[in-house]
Copies of this chain bind each other. A is one copy, B any other.
Amino acid sequence: MPSWIDSANEAGCDFPVQNLPFGVFSKGSEQPRCCSAIGNRVIDLAALEEASVLDAGGDGSVFGEPSLNAFMALGPKSWASVRARLTSLLRKDGDPALRESVALKGKTLVPMDQVQMHMPFQVADYTDFYSAKQHAFNVGTMFRGPENALPLNYLHIPIGYNGRASSVVVSGTEFRRPLGQLKAPDADAPRFGPCERLDFELEMGAVVGTPSTFGEPVSVAEADEMIFGYVLLNDWSARDIQAWEYVPLGPFQAKATATTISPWVVAKAALEPFRAPAPEREKPLLPYLDDPAPRNYSITLETALQPEGQAESRLSQTNAKYLYYSAAQQLAHHTSSGCPMRTGDLLGSGTISGPDKAQWGSLLELSWGGKEPFALAKGGERSFLEDGDTLTLRGWCEGDGYHIGFGECAGKVLAALNAK
């Protein structure tokens, strides 16, 4: 299905007409507003709405908002209708309303290199799961040996914890290396200083579009209907701060410095052709988590590191299909206690590592706890992140003659403040 916008039809383009992801952009000093993407262009959805060429079905302007939340809250019917309308406006043989209006094209299609991307939605609550079994196995093996690697509950429950919504930032945001309490194993007391074991975590994030009700659990199938789309997600982690703080209530400041997401939310509908079955169940799941439908996705995921002023080296390449629990299962579990979900909730998948070392999603794993520094293809090595490092996640699905991309999810580590 080619588009009349040529750049959308090029091989390897992240944003063909089959994708149509959603985000928030601004140009110069203009107000941020909602957009989609086609080829090398951002599509100004607020301009299309204002020209009465696009209607999400909400009250007033939905796409003029500086976040996708109003659109996401309209639910699956609106999402499907907007997607169908955009597809028709952008495919070669579709509705001519945009294609044949020079004025509207000029207003609506903005070269990507002229825009600033913003947080695509306002995060309500942020939850991070632990759903890639290989990652849990790797971490468990480092700390407890391979026999006791997986927590006893792992094969029964989607383990997760609440993260910090205020520190979720959009790709491109630089951040300072965190300060925190660090305690050497042989020290009597902790000291306060810059993190020495700063890491990334390759994850996917599911974005909740429609809410659930206080006190009302939802089924896995209902949960899947609530999901608007997916982002790439990097949950930056201070491994040394975590080691000291996490007993008995879990990670806290080690995960609070920043969590970076891609500026593009790829709609669930665009990923539908790439559904994949869940990994084989080693133990039967309780009925509330059971799901005959394939709710995983086959999404190729890549991590790359660029030291300051040097060339980028790929670290690993894995796939979202390795997740033991799908986002729909995570979400159903999340409501099992009666906990209400809201528009803008973000669910991190957990670090996605595949079976082979080349498929591992963190430096903790790639350097085996810092004991085996990872050699960068373009020179140098890393146990953990250094100041000036830029870490980039990329992700895409390979379709028949097209490619559904997530764009990039990148962040750069700056030097720490002086500890007081």
Contact = CB atoms under 8 A, between A and B. Distances in A.
A176 interface: yes
A213 B176 CA distance: 12
Interface stretch (A14-22, A48-56, A282-290, A394-402): A282-290
B250 A283 contact: no
Interface stretch (A27-35, A96-104, A239-247, A292-300): A239-247
Interface of A: 124-125, 130, 151-153, 156-157, 159-167, 169, 175-176, 178-181, 183, 189-192, 214-217, 219, 238, 241, 244-254, 256-258, 283, 286-288, 333-334, 336-342, 345, 417, 419-420
B339 A125 contact: no
15 contacts: A125-B165, A153-B247, A157-B244, A161-B250, A166-B341, A166-B342, A167-B214, A175-B215, A176-B215, A176-B338, A181-B286, A191-B286, A254-B337, A258-B338, A288-B420
Contacts of A251: 249-250
Contact of A336 (B125, B169, B175, B180): B180
The count of identical subunits is: 2
A173 to B, nearest CB: 8
A217 B338 CA distance: 35
B167 A339 contact: yes
Given A180-B337, A189-B283, 17 more contacts: A151-B248, A153-B181, A156-B189, A159-B249, A160-B249, A161-B250, A166-B340, A167-B214, A175-B215, A179-B217, A179-B337, A215-B257, A215-B417, A246-B248, A253-B333, A256-B338, A257-B337
Nearest to A165: B125
A217 B163 CA distance: 18
A176 B214 CA distance: 9
A245 B159 contact: yes
Contact of A153 (B167, B192, B244, B283): B244
